[in-house]
């Protein structure tokens, strides 16, 4: 997972630098889709975080990855794709590094502890703004195309409007903002109280294990 995340960050930044933000999505599409879809396994296993903390975030990312970027090519060249890719990848590289090292050695170095519980103050607003902006920019194309909408009459006697569902999803994102921020701040307070140094007897194992893990 960490390699996939670092891979789409590398290709995204490289493309952004060489050809411009309009081509970032084309460069990262496959690793981006794979990484965000595979993250759903975390919700099933609950291996790293409580499901109440991970489900809203992963659901939002899956929706933006599949329901917006994959479904509506018109928004793939938007500059917000670049900020989305960078914020997602940096956040998750730090997160998976933190949990991987903590599980392997029982503790983490202080700099990684600081990154884990502090960078969200910058990266979370960038990521959520990018998600909301891309959904908003896709709305006209949803309405015009009618993609994924089900209209009456039909044999199921059922109707569904993807355009209005997107509005509902935007509302849910905004509603969850305060709760997610509060949860992150609580986690930061807990993390700052934890022992953040690696025991001297583990330093050699730490370096060697980290090299193998990467």
> Which one, of 165, 65, 95, 177, lies nearest residue 128 by Cα?
177
The H-assigned helical ranges of 39-119 are 40-45, 51-62, 80-105, 110-118
Catalytic residue among 9, 42, 92, 131: 131
> Which one, of 2, 9, 23, lies nearest residue 123 by Cα?
9
Would residue 124 show up in a list of annotated catalytic residues for this protein?
yes
Would residue 9 show up in a list of annotated catalytic residues for this protein?
no
- CA separation for the pair 121, 123 (Å, rounded): 6
- CA separation for the pair 92, 4 (Å, rounded): 10
Catalytic residue among 124, 136, 141, 162: 124
Residues identified as active-site: 124, 131
């Amino acid at each position: 997972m960490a390699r996939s995340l670092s891979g789409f960050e590398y290709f995204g930044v490289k493309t952004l630098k060489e050809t411009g933000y309009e081509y970032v999505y084309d460069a990262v599409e496959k690793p981006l889709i794979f990484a965000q879809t595979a993250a759903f396994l975390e919700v099933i296993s609950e291996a790293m975080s409580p499901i109440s903390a991970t489900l809203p975030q992963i659901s939002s990312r899956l929706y933006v990855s599949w329901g917006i970027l994959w479904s509506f090519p018109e928004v793939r060249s938007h500059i917000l794709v670049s900020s989305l890719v960078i914020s997602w990848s940096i956040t998750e590289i730090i997160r998976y590094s933190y949990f991987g090292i903590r599980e392997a050695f029982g503790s983490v170095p202080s700099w990684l502890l600081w990154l884990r519980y502090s960078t969200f103050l910058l990266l979370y607003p960038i990521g959520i703004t990018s998600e909301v902006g891309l959904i908003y920019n896709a709305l006209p194309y949803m309405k015009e195309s009618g993609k994924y909408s089900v209209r009456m009459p039909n044999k199921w006697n059922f109707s569904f409007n993807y355009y209005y569902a997107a509005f509902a999803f935007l509302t849910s994102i905004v509603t969850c903002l305060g709760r997610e921020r509060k949860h992150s701040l609580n986690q930061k307070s807990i993390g700052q109280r934890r022992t953040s140094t690696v025991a001297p007897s583990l330093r050699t194992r730490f370096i060697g294990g980290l090299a193998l893990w990467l």
